């Protein structure tokens, strides 16, 4: 799907409905896409939410974000010198837009035009060695000089070194909390420098303090922005390996710098290489590894974003039986949606609508690879 097939960038009024929909309880990026595909735009989707949640078996009223809350968020961003980017905006990063769970709305602060550059992520250990930090800074500097945007997560260690190296050229920091929340606090000076010379990106509303659940969500944005990621020092249970996994699932190039087998901080990166990641030692290696990807579009936007036809109508009796059938096949273990459709022997549109209802009712858990499972709640 080309950018020309997308709806026009939303007006100020429409942006409020974009915000309201994604800030509504149980609505995540995938659900947002499916709602817009089903109903045509966020405004119509908002009107349909209560009935969809009721059909999914929700007993409590769905907490739909208010217009006043959306207006306050926009006003806060304006005071911060930040702005909203929606998936329909022309300056939303094309690479990230191609990811199935791309944030429908981003907060950005700084030089948004830097998103036009091809991006490479550099991530790694927080407790990085001196040599690891030096190498990350050098890689980032050389990539910046070569015209790339260097993306990372503003964490201590490798992330901070990468940002510093690329700062004179182009760097983007994807923060785990709100756009105005500096974490860790020791990187306050670097945050200010990036605001002045680079770009800050956030998915969560302003003022959001990062918790454990926010970091994997941030990591999928770092990889989604980028043509590839480079891991410099990572222990076997490092969060950088989560970013590498996301990159692989998103079709990005995964690269790693080899390290001493005697250093626990290198075991994760070395394992990535054994599993097939490209071994790199300098910026030239990285650019060479990415050359095939740079010669073709990174990916089109997901076809189910805005251009799916409305779900064909079905009588209430048919849909009720279909709900029973889908619920019978679902359980606590994840199952691929395609397999669910195959076993149900129902139309994809009916199954996807039922899953959407269950999602809004808080009864569905979504997993990577377009898999779902049933979430057991007391609602």
Looking at residue 229, its pLDDT comes to 98
Q: Is 120 helix (H, G, I), strand (E, B) or coil?
A: strand
Average pLDDT on 169-188 reads 97
- The torsion region of residue 2 among left (phi > 0), alpha (psi -120 to 50) and beta comes to beta
Q: In whole angstroms, give the CA distance from residue 62 to residue 25.
A: 7
Pair (49, 122) in one structural domain? no
Question: Counting beta carbons within 10 angstroms of the beta carbon of residue 281, is it exposed (0 to 12), middle (13 to 18) or buried (19 or more)?
Answer: exposed
pLDDT surpasses 60 at 151 = yes
User: Percentage of the chain with pLDDT > 70?
Assistant: 92
Higher pLDDT, 376 or 102: 102
Residue 339 lies in a domain: yes
Looking at residue 297, its pLDDT comes to 64
Pair (137, 220) in one structural domain? yes
Number of domains comprising the chain: 3
pTM: 0.88
Pair (239, 272) in one structural domain? yes
Pair (63, 113) in one structural domain? no
pLDDT digits (tens, 9 = 90+) for 1-35: 334 445 678 999 999 999 999 999 999 999 999 99
Pair (193, 255) in one structural domain? yes
Residue 261 lies in a domain: yes
Residue 154 lies in a domain: yes
Angle between the N-to-C axes of helices 188-197 and 158-166, in degrees from 0 to 180, rounded to the nearest 10 = 30
């Amino acid at each position: 799907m080309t950018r020309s097939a997308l709806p026009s960038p939303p007006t100020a009024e429409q942006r409020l409905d974009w915000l309201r929909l994604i800030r509504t309880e149980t609505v995540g990026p995938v659900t947002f896409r499916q709602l817009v595909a089903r109903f045509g735009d966020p405004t119509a989707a908002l009107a349909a939410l209560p009935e969809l949640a009721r059909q999914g078996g929700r007993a409590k009223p769905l907490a739909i974000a208010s217009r006043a809350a959306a207006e306050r968020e926009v006003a806060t961003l304006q005071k911060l010198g930040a702005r909203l980017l929606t998936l329909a905006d022309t300056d939303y990063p094309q690479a990230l837009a191609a990811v199935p769970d791309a944030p429908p709305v981003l907060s950005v602060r700084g030089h948004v035009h830097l998103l036009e550059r091809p991006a490479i992520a550099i991530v790694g250990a927080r407790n990085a060695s001196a040599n690891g930090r030096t190498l990350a800074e050098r890689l980032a500097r050389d990539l910046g000089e070569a015209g790339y945007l260097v993306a990372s997560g503003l964490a201590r260690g490798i992330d901070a070194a990468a940002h510093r190296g690329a700062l004179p050229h182009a760097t983007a920091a994807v923060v785990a909390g709100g756009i105005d929340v500096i974490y860790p606090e020791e990187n306050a000076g670097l945050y200010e420098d990036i605001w002045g010379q680079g770009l800050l990106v956030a998915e969560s509303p302003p003022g959001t303090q990062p918790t454990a659940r926010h970091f994997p969500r941030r990591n999928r944005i770092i990889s989604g922005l980028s043509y590839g990621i480079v891991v410099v020092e990572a222990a076997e249970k490092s969060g950088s390996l989560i970013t590498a996994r996301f990159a692989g699932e998103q079709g990005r190039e995964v690269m790693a710098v080899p390290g001493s087998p005697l250093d626990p901080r290198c075991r994760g990166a070395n394992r990535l290489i054994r599993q097939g990641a490209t071994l790199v030692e300098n910026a030239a290696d990285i650019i060479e590894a990415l050359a095939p990807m740079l010669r073709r579009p990174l990916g089109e936007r997901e076809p189910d974003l805005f251009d799916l036809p409305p779900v064909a109508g079905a009588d209430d009796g048919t849909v009720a039986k279909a709900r029973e059938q889908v619920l019978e096949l679902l359980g606590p273990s994840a199952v691929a949606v395609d397999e669910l459709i195959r076993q149900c022997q129902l139309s994809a549109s009916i199954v996807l609508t039922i899953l959407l209802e269950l999602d809004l009712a808080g009864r569905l858990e979504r997993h990577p690879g377009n898999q779902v499972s049933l979430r057991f709640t007391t609602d």
